[in-house]
Structure 1
Amino acid sequence: MNVLFLTMARIGSLEDRGVYTDLLRKFHDEGHNVFVVTPMERRENKKTTLVKEKGGVILNIQTLNIQKTNIIEKGIGTLAIEYQFLRGIKKYFSDVSFDLIIYSTPPITFSKVISFVKKRDNAYSYLLLKDIFPQNAIDMKMLKEGSLLHKFFLKKEQKLYKVSDSIGCMSEANKKFVLIHNPSLNSEKVEVNPNSISPLELFQTEEEKNTIKKKYGLPIDKKVFVYGGNLGKPQGVDFVMETIAATKREDVFFLVIGSGTEYNRVKKWFDIEQPKNAMMMKGLPKDDYEFLLRACDVGMLFLHKDFTIPNFPSRLLSYLDIKLPVLAATDPNTDVGLVIENAECGYWILSGDQKAMQDSINKFCDNEENYLQMKENAWKLLLTEFHVDFSYELIKKRLKHV
């Protein structure tokens, strides 16, 4: 079977670890031919290229900057990418007949590409819904509800859902939200297909962990609470800073690693306040980041309190993969905290509730036996709910019914 994967995410190699590459490697390992179309942004200063690897073929399409750029270029680039992808597929994959198209949100502007391949090859289309747009932009007041731009993107969203034969949502709350807000959508084609990876269990001694801490200047005698990822408006970074300032325990240290639109504001706060219980680092290369995570003790998730859509951060899997218990501070609509607490691998609080945050921090620190059990429960949750084999089988099952 020939599988085409479309994504806004930058995929440098199919050997990299991640929610998309792990799934694509699974398809390859099961005997399928994998073809990827991914953007290569203007800042890379490279032309469109076709790269053949052991695990498949990657078509790097030259695009405008669409990540971490100004809103004008991001908007134009997001709208243009559909036509750039379509042109690239016609040029480089004209002799390939695809059986399956998998694609993720963002963006919601791939409907023309999907329609073309479906019509040309009679392919089955599967949407991995990772982002509910434009409602998330409304929640963050980046779009005005009822505006012309909002209506334009709503139409794009509806076209994408309509052209998709199946829609895989990240969680039950995601699925419920999509069905409630899209009553014309056939519920039979909507299912839960969560973020998933191929787990890699790593064994690490305390000595190795301390070596990493020394390398990066982290205290050896404190529990390190780490937040790693995007520092943008969706994360509600004010609560991150409030938590650092409010925590008075001498055995707790915070590590903030990331980049994004709010990075400079958070960095300015660090420069002015110079907290003794925290360190901030610019986003690291993926391998270095995962190496540093192994020296930490608790993974933290932050989501803005005003979200009405049920986000489900893929960052959770990075924590579970190295047996990190999780502390999630989110809006009331996501069910990521419920998943964490039901699995007994961490705690969930509402973003903005500093008393609940401090109570949770105390729980991680005051009962070492419980903490060690949460580490094992984190690994168990990854194996039972977020293994790439489950995502693969769900998609494969859909194809059997065609």
Structure 2
Amino acid sequence: MNIVFLTLVEINSIEERGIYQDLLRKFRDEGHSVTIVTPVERRRNIATNFKKKDGVEILQVKTLNIQKTNIIEKGIGTLAIEYQYLSAIKKYLSDRKFDLVFYSTPPITFAKVIEYIKNRDHAKSYLLLKDIFPQNAVDMGMLKKGGIIHRQFLKKEKRLYQISDTIGCMSPANVNFLLQHNPEISYEKVEVNPNTIEPVTVDYTDEQKVNIREKYGIPIDKKVFVYGGNLGKPQGLGFLLETIEATKNEEVFFLIVGDGTEFPTMKAWFDNRQPNHAKLLQRLPKEDYDKLLAACNIGLIFLDRNFLIPNFPSRLLSYLEMKMPVLVATDPNTDIGDIVEKANCGYKVLAGDQIDMQVKISNLLKADLKEMGSNAEKLLRDEYLVNRSYQLIIKKI
């Protein structure tokens, strides 16, 4: 089968690790012909190009800066990408006939590209709904509800859902939210297709873990609560900083590893407070990050308390992969905390509730972390292996 994947994630090789690379690698290994259409932002100074690599085809499309840029360029770039992708596909993939076009949100602005491929090739279409936009931007105060821009994006969102033959949502709460707010969508076209990975086995000795901690200046006699990933407004990082300041237990050490729009704010806070029980590191290469993660004890997930949409951060999978209990501080609408607690591999807290946060931290310090880690691994293998996503998509073709 010939498949084409449209994404805003810059993919240079499917041998890298990630939820999309793992899925695309699965398609390739199962004998399918894979074409990836991926952006290369203008800051990279690389022209639109087409290449074959690692047994797949990659069409890199030059775009405006979309990630880690100001909101004006991000907005214009998101709108322009539809035409840039369409032009590149017509130029470089005119001789292809695809059986499946699948794509993820963000963005919601691929409708014309999808329609072109569907009409040209009679292809099936599958949406991996990773982000519910523009509602998330309204939740974060980045868009005015009911404004001209908001209404324009709503039309594009509705159109994207309409032309998608199947919509795969990250969790049951996402399915419910989508159907509740879009009653025109048929229940039959929506299913749970969660973030999934091809896990690796990481099994370091105690001595190796000590060496890793010493390399990064992390105490070897503390329980390390680690937050890894994007440092942006959606994460509600003010509550993370409040938690660091409020935690007085000398057994606890906080490690934050990541990058994003809020990194300068985080760094300024650390420079000013200089906490002796916490450390901030900028983003590390994936291999180095995994090694560091393996030397920590408990994973942290934070989401802004104002979200109405049920986000489901993919960083959960990194923690589960490392057999690590998880502490989740989120809005009341996501079900990620419920799933973690039901699997007995962590606790949930309502973002902003510092009293409960301290209770849950205390519970984790007294818990059998090895048993909870085993439960975390079981949750990963029961629900979040890449074969699940692959089989769900294949069944629709």
Query: Which whole-Å deviations, capped at 9, do the CAs of 1:287-307 have from their partners, x for residues lacking one?
Result: 222221111111100000010
- 2:13–2:54 contact (8 Å) kept in structure 1: no
Q: Is the 8 A contact 1:25 1:55 kept in 2?
A: no
| Counterpart AA for 1:66 | I
Letter aligned with residue 286 of structure 2? K
Alpha-carbon distance in 1 for matches of 2:275, 2:259: 19
Alignment of 1:346-365 (within 5 A): 346-365=346-365
Give the structure 2 partner of residue 305 of structure 1.
Answer: 305
SS in 2 for 1:307: coil
CA contact (8 A) 1:254 1:277 kept: yes
Count of paired positions: 397
SS in 1 for 2:347: strand
Deviates further, 45-54 or 186-195: 45-54
Secondary structure of 2:320 counterpart:
helix
Q: Distance in 2 between matches of 1:65 and 1:304?
A: 25
1:235-267 CA deviation, whole Å, 9 max, x = no partner? 111101000000001111001111111111111
Deviations, residues 145-171 of structure 1 (Å, cap 9, x unaligned): 110011000000001000100000000
Cα distance in 2, alignment partners of residues 37 and 287 from structure 1: 25
Does the 8 Å CA contact 2:202/2:294 hold for their aligned counterparts?
Answer: no
Distance in 2, Cα, partners of 1:66 & 1:284: 21
What do the CA deviations read for 1:37-68 (whole angstroms, capped 9, x no partner)?
00001111111122212331111111110000
Determine if the alignment matches structure 1 residue 133 to structure 2 residue 142: no
Contact map agreement 1:34 1:57 (CA 8 A) in 2: yes
Distance across 2 between alignment mates of 1:152 and 1:247 = 45
2:382 to 369, 373, 384: 384
Cα distance in 2 for residues equivalent to 1:295 and 1:288: 11
CA distance in 1, matches of 2:298, 2:67: 28
Q: 2: CA distance between counterparts of 1:344 and 1:177?
A: 25
Q: Which residue of 1 aligns with 2:262?
A: 262
Q: Which moved more, 1:110-119 or 1:15-24?
A: 15-24
Mapped partners of 1:246, 1:138: distance in 2: 30
Aligned to 2:393: 395
Aligned residue for 2:156, secondary structure, equals: helix
- Give 1:395's aligned amino acid: I
- Tell me the TM-score normalized by structure 1: 0.98
Amino acid in the other structure paired with 1:383? R
**Distance in structure 2 (CA, Å) of the matches to 1:324 and 1:305:** 24
Distance in 1 separating the partners of 2:216 and 2:26: 34
1:364 and 1:48 mapped to 2: Cα distance?
A: 50
CA distance in 1, matches of 2:200, 2:264: 34
Instruction: Provide the secondary structure at the position in 1 that maps to 2:396.
Output: helix
Q: CA RMSD in A?
A: 0.8
The answer as to whether partners of 1:14 and 1:55 remain within 8 angstroms in 2 is: no
**Cα separation, 1, equivalents of 2:51 and 2:209:** 37
| In structure 2, C-alpha distance between the alignment counterparts of 1:11 and 1:297, rounded to whole Å | 30
Q: In the aligned structure 1, how far is the partner of 2:341 from the partner of 2:55?
A: 37
Q: Structure 2: which 5+ residue stretches go unaligned?
A: none
Name the structure 2 match of 1:75.
Answer: 75
Structure 1 window deviating more from structure 2 (296-305 vs 260-269): it is 260-269
C-alpha distance in structure 2 between counterparts of 1:137 and 1:248, whole Å = 35
| Equivalent residues in 2 for 1:139-218, closer than 5 Å | 139-218=139-218
Between the aligned partners of 2:49 and 2:339, the Cα distance in structure 1 is 41
CA distance in 1 between partners of 2:73 and 2:42 (Å): 11
Normalised by the length of structure 2, the TM-score is 0.99
AA aligned to 1:265 is T
- Once the two structures are TM-superposed, the CA of residue 231 in structure 1 deviates from its matched residue by 1.1
Distance in 2 (CA, whole Å) between partners of 1:51 and 1:227 is 36
* 1:2–1:33 CA contact under 8 A, matched in 2: yes
Instruction: Please give the residue correspondences for 1:2-401 in structure 2 after superposition, counting only pairs within 5 Å.
Output: 2-367=2-367, 370-399=368-397
Structure 1 letter corresponding to 2:385: H
Moved over 2 A (4+): none
